[in-house]
Structure 1
Amino acid sequence: MGTFSKSIIKVAKGAMDAFGTFPAAIASALAFSIVTAIRIHLDWPQQEEFNFLFNCLHWAFGFGALFGIAAVIYVRTRKNSVKDFTIANLFTAAVITVIFILLYFFGGRELLPDDNFRFMRLTDISIGRMTALSFAVAVAFVIFAGLPRKNPNMTRSIFMTQKAFITAAIYGGVMMGGTSAVAGTIQALLYNDMSYKVYQYLGTIVGFLTFTIFAGYFPDFSKAEEDEKRKSAQSQSRFMEVLFSYIMVPIALSLTVVLLLWTVRTVMEGIGSSFVRLSSIATSYAVGGIWLHIMVEEHNNGLAKFYRRVYPVAALLILGFEAWALVVQLGRFGMKTTEYFFLITWVVAVVSVLLIILQKERAYIKISILTALAALIAVLPLAGYHTLPARLQSQRLEKLLIRANMLQAGAIVPGSESIDKELREQITDSVSFLAYQYDAELPDWFDRDLANYRDFKDTFGFEQAWPQYDEYISPSEYVSTFLTLEPVAIDVSGYDWAFNLLDFSRKGEGAAELSGRNGAYLVEWILNETNSSVPRLRISLDDKIILDEVMQSYVDRISEKYPPTAYQPRTVGLEDMSERFYSDNIEVLVVFNTAEINLDAKNDRITYWLSLNSIYLKEK
């Protein structure tokens, strides 16, 4: 029997053994798959009413699958008795029940006016809490899986878990590709009317089998000492050593050099980067750097040793300047969700690096626990991402309104356009953030409808004024103007005809014709092949062109009023979403649903997308 065949048989045997090793976890995964199959069977109109129930079941069973593995690994590595094994699986069933009850009775949200749903759904914070709990449980079973029992080896345990996941994913991908190919062949050659749901059922079955392969990859944790299967699961091959030490380490060191150069530039020129971009880079560097430090802990080559010495010191220096960037950002825009998660990540990264410097490999288990705790803190009622930023931003907005003399006796008093532009921008930015914090309690004087263009203007006495969020925009990035027409009634009493043209037609396709008092009209909305240039409106009367207008005047007008910035959708009124044209024969009103202008500074390219609402025509 060849090595390949032995490998497949080994994986298949492990998957079968998983049913006995992790019975509650496998049962949870099976229940998850059954719920998925039921959802596939029901078309959306039938399923929609039960969508909330299905989501609660999915989260409960999905969490149970992870918790079941963690519970069994704990008792196998710590106590290893039949009684404890039974308790662990029964406790998993109890946890699944409790999670479902909590989600079903306390995790839903009644519909809001702007919801696109007809029935109750899970709140975002409920989903966030389940995600954090699942992550914490995953960290727990990685810790429990370490050896020796009293001092878990996190390097080997983390690698073994990753190896199990990747192995299962590869087998799952191959199974899905193979079964889909067979199904596709049957559909093409034998049964053309085969439902698309067949592929979804196959995906569900393959997903369940993939989970059993993942669970079955782990060794027998009841054994006190390492056996051959455990050594195989935890060992890093020569390929992995080359990947980590000779490919990923140089990349990480290169990124370290770039960030160190950024710190020098920051000292000399100030912070000149988008905070969103900076936070993503900093998060990736901190999380990826610590993970790589763990992966190369047992490598003895020169690059790995150099990285283990250099990374902690360089990371502390870089994190210090990233803290400066955070302070500047908080001073400009206050605490919001992005800043909150950046702060959480920064604290975890700094403490983790200090632990590595002081305790080296003994720090890894503490770092894992710290990361899990941070995830749980981020979803707590008072300190979570859904409450703390909203509370701090509410306080910021209150101070801004008092500064503008617009908050009196617990109510907002309209101001005017004469208020300082920077202050108007800060108020707009704060209101825009708070209006979408559905899971947070907001002040009584704040109305979520204030995000709407008309309500904002009526309440505050001035139009929305958006700050420039990025002081520096890389040439490789896009900036844009994106406007949407607010819900509005259009007075068309002075017009004779309304045209509903296709805004994606090209070269006159989809033109509208009509017979009016003065003759036969042909109305065309003309785009080029790529929709990248400004559209053209052409109207002919008895085959004679009487109006030929490129929407350039409209584009110039809204570009001046709403300069392209980092992506920031705006809801505006009819004045900004319409344009009038006149000729000797007709008067025309063009109304747009959306207007989008995208600028690619690197390639010096501008693209336009004007989505028509209607064109109104009046004959003279």
Structure 2
Amino acid sequence: MRWFGKFRERFTGLTNAIVRFPLTSLLLLAAAVINAYSISTEKDHSKFLLTFILGAFLSAVAQVGYERFFTKLSSRLVLMTVVVLLTAGYYLIIRPAPNLSMEIEVRTAVAMFGLLWAFIWVPVIKSSVCFNQSFMIAFKALFNSAFFSAIIFGGISIILAAFNELIVTINYTAYPHTANLVFVLFGPMYFLSLIPNYSEAKEESIKKAAHIPKFLEILLSYILIPLLAVFTLIIVLYIVKNINGQFWTDNLLEPMLVSYAITVILLYILVSDIDNKFTIMFQKIFPKVLIPIVLFQIVSSIISLADTGVTHTRYFVILFGVFAAIAGILFSLLPVRKNGLIAALLIIFAAISIVPPVDAFTISRNSQISTLKNVLLRNDMLENNEIKPNGSISQKDQQIITDTVFYLNRMEYIKDVNWLPRGFDAYKDFYDTFGFKEYQESGDINQSIYLNIEPSTPINISGFDRFIQIDLYKADQNGEEEISEFEKVGKTYTLLKETNGNQVTLKLMAENNKELIRFNTQEIFDKYDNYHATKETIPADEATFTKENDGAKITIVVQNVSIEKQYNQNNAGIYVFIQIK
């Protein structure tokens, strides 16, 4: 009956977590309900969902803060009221937005990240329990809740699939509803049930909860640390080898170094209570190695800002680099018991990055607008707050203009640029506004382009003798293929498709094998080769090609075209209109 005892213990833990975190439980339930409603109605209620989830984070931090610093019920009620007001305030802020923009999503994600660290650090401030123990408990709880949630969801999904196949067909929404209940409601509550009340729990129970399993100790000490040491050696050798050139401009290395810094910091905290030769060496050496690596990366990132300006991603990279450098210094100077300072520092940096006027988005918006304006002024393209098209500027400046315009468009900041044309559409109006197409470096060329003529487009067919639909594609063999044969005034005419490698030519032949007119279909693919990949429709005038001479006239109307540059594969569906003179 041990399994029953374990089940009862876990069930009791869940019910205790509901009692301990009542507001969090209520907000998670509200999130699950609104998500279930969205699944059933297929309507977007993501603003409510995000609000309830953020409120759940806030209320969880408020509860552990109450347990650490207060005892009176009135204090708990005041904290709950503050959480409700902050949650309502957040909803009122995002409510006017037509949709959840990237800025709203990133701000919210950073806020939740900071609250998660606050949840780990706040209950052990000036406590006999150190931050390392609290972090290990939260780490294990997070892993266990994710593991059991995945197992439960997988098991229920298999049962639903079997029921659907063997008994009766069930609605497809059963699976997202299951995921909603498991991952939005059960998973977080199970996580909270594994977090002890540090103010009431006995020392032995906390030590047991923070105990590092042998498997995890081996994984951290004898696998991850040696692998990280080898990776560190590779990074150091790369920096030394390229210190005079490529390192300062290699943007691909930036996410790698950020990931490296995150790994070092997390691993340092995780092994703080493990005492063996590998962990001792790691604690002594790696923080000191981390400092110069992140300092080099900060300088490299700042240098790249000279031309491109600040984006929110680059802002976070630099800010995290500063944090990582400070963390390396603190790890080198302070004992492991003081690791809680890192959590406090991280929370402060997270707040700085999302609170105006020094937040990532205010600074990046102003920087990108300023960068675009400076490039236009440098090329005499901005006069009296009006843009003058100029297609002869350097490729470097074309790239800067392209990057800044599409960044502002992606972040929905175009409306803040008062000298751009009213109603400016980055995809439709770019060429007319700036005088050149969106510049793309060789590594960034659209690998796939798919275009269709605008729906319900009327086509003038008056004056033509024949209308033929043809598919253009790469043939297996070269040669000629007869497409259509027709007569006019007693004479026979033939339309041929001539294939030579990737080239397809349409030829109109008269009697006695006389060629009247030809059309090289490569003109179609050359015209659309530089279209932006997200522009999916083309108007009738841009879809029409005409060839004419004294003997005949041939008009091509493109219905759809696909260009696969990576595989050198071009296909199109076209209408061919023929007029014999």
State the TM-score, normalized to the length of structure 1.
0.77
Give the structure 2 partner of residue 36 of structure 1: 35
Give the structure 2 partner of residue 397 of structure 1: 372
1:578 & 1:339 partners in 2: Cα distance?
Answer: 44
2:438 & 2:275 partners in 1: Cα distance?
Answer: 59
Q: Which deviations, in whole Å up to 9, do the C-alpha atoms of 1:544-589 show, x marking residues without a partner?
A: 9x99999767667877x79xxxx98789988998877899988353
Q: Of residues 345, 364, 375 in structure 1, which corresponds to 2:320? A: 345
Q: Give the C-alpha shift of residue 25 in structure 1.
A: 0.9
Q: Say whether the 8 Å CA contact 1:484–1:594 is kept in structure 2.
A: yes
2:171 & 2:342 partners in 1: Cα distance?
Answer: 49
1:236 & 1:616 partners in 2: Cα distance?
Answer: 74
Give the structure 2 partner of residue 115 of structure 1: none
Give the structure 2 partner of residue 455 of structure 1: 429
Q: Say whether the 8 Å CA contact 1:537–1:548 is kept in structure 2.
A: yes
Q: Give the C-alpha shift of residue 307 in structure 1.
A: 1.4
Change (3 A) 1:301 1:420: same
Give the structure 2 partner of residue 284 of structure 1: 259
Which segment drifts farther, 332-341 or 547-556?
A: 547-556
Change (3 A) 1:582 1:442: same
Give the structure 2 partner of residue 530 of structure 1: none
Q: Say whether the 8 Å CA contact 1:484–1:571 is kept in structure 2.
A: yes
Q: Say whether the 8 Å CA contact 2:399–2:439 is kept in structure 1.
A: yes
Q: Which deviations, in whole Å up to 9, do the C-alpha atoms of 1:424-474 show, x marking residues without a partner?
A: 333333333333331576332124866646633323334443346x7xxxx
Give the structure 1 partner of residue 333 of structure 2: 358
For structure 1, list consecutive stretches of 5 or more residues without a partner in the other structure: 110-119, 471-477, 508-512, 527-532, 599-605
Give the structure 1 partner of residue 418 of structure 2: 444
Give the structure 2 partner of residue 101 of structure 1: 92
2:561 & 2:186 partners in 1: Cα distance?
Answer: 46
Q: Give the C-alpha shift of residue 165 in structure 1.
A: 1.4
Change (3 A) 1:521 1:122: farther
Give the structure 2 partner of residue 409 of structure 1: 384
1:308 & 1:218 partners in 2: Cα distance?
Answer: 27
Q: Give the C-alpha shift of residue 320 in structure 1.
A: 2.6
1:385 & 1:367 partners in 2: Cα distance?
Answer: 21
- Could you tell me the percent identity over the aligned residues? 19
Give the structure 1 partner of residue 121 of structure 2: 143
Give the structure 2 partner of residue 132 of structure 1: 110
Matches within 5 A, 1:33-112: 33-42=32-41, 44=42, 47=43, 51=44, 54-104=45-95, 108-109=96-97
Q: Give the C-alpha shift of residue 246 in structure 1.
A: 1.1
2:65 & 2:85 partners in 1: Cα distance?
Answer: 17
Count of aligned pairs between the two proteins: 563
Alignment pair present for 1:260 and 2:259: no
Give the structure 2 partner of residue 112 of structure 1: none
Q: Of residues 97, 116, 121 in structure 1, which corresponds to 2:99? A: 121
Change (3 A) 1:495 1:335: farther
2:195 & 2:259 partners in 1: Cα distance?
Answer: 29
1:576 & 1:256 partners in 2: Cα distance?
Answer: 54
Q: Give the C-alpha shift of residue 336 in structure 1.
A: 2.3
Q: Give the C-alpha shift of residue 595 in structure 1.
A: 4.7
Q: Give the C-alpha shift of residue 250 in structure 1.
A: 1.4
1:212 & 1:158 partners in 2: Cα distance?
Answer: 18
1:520 & 1:364 partners in 2: Cα distance?
Answer: 86
1:568 & 1:436 partners in 2: Cα distance?
Answer: 15
3-state DSSP of counterpart to 1:145: helix
State the TM-score, normalized to the length of structure 2.
0.82
Which segment drifts farther, 216-225 or 55-64?
A: 216-225
2:416 & 2:59 partners in 1: Cα distance?
Answer: 39
Change (3 A) 1:60 1:593: same
Q: Give the C-alpha shift of residue 23 in structure 1.
A: 1.1
1:504 & 1:202 partners in 2: Cα distance?
Answer: 45
Rg (Cα) greater in structure = 2
1:391 & 1:499 partners in 2: Cα distance?
Answer: 54
Change (3 A) 1:502 1:250: farther
Residue 72 of structure 1 aligns with an amino acid whose one-letter code is Q
Which segment drifts farther, 582-591 or 301-310?
A: 582-591
1:426 & 1:448 partners in 2: Cα distance?
Answer: 22
Q: Say whether the 8 Å CA contact 2:452–2:559 is kept in structure 1.
A: no
Change (3 A) 1:538 1:56: same
For structure 2, list consecutive stretches of 5 or more residues without a partner in the other structure: 477-482
Change (3 A) 1:72 1:178: same
